[in-house]
Amino acid sequence: MLEITQARYKEEVSYKRRKLDLEERQLLLRENEAGLISRSEYRKEKKHIGKTCHCSPSPPSSPPRNPNRLASPDWDFEKLDEEMQNSSEVEIMNGE
């Protein structure tokens, strides 16, 4: 399960990186067309897109926890055994 999670995480990061690179290229093109940057600046910046180190965090070692879900309480097995024993005794007394 962990391998699947890590593979999915890497695919998602790769997809988002490609999408961001595309948006950066589109922005550079619009800036060039608007005359904000020269053609040589456009080409220079375009070469750097995707080559710069976009250090991504390492994939999670375990799937993220659902924040809407409460943590399971620690079980008190001795108390649970007593409750189970008491409920069995009550059922026997009631003829169930």
What per-residue confidence (pLDDT) applies to 57?
A: 53
Q: Are 24 and 30 in contact (CB under 8 A)?
A: no
Is 61 contained in some domain?
no
Is 89 contained in some domain?
no
DSSP 61: S
Is the pTM value of this prediction over 0.95? no
Is 6 contained in some domain?
yes
Structure tokens belonging to residue 36: 């904000």
What per-residue confidence (pLDDT) applies to 2?
A: 83
Is 49 contained in some domain?
yes
What per-residue confidence (pLDDT) applies to 78?
A: 78
- pLDDT digits (tens), the chain, 96 positions: 788 899 999 999 999 999 999 999 999 999 999 999 899 998 888 888 877 555 555 555 555 666 676 666 677 777 777 877 777 655 555 565
Is 28 contained in some domain?
yes
End-to-end CA distance of the chain: 44
CA angle 26, 16, 44 (to 5 degrees): 40
Q: Are 25 and 49 in contact (CB under 8 A)?
A: yes
Domain residues for 35? 1-56
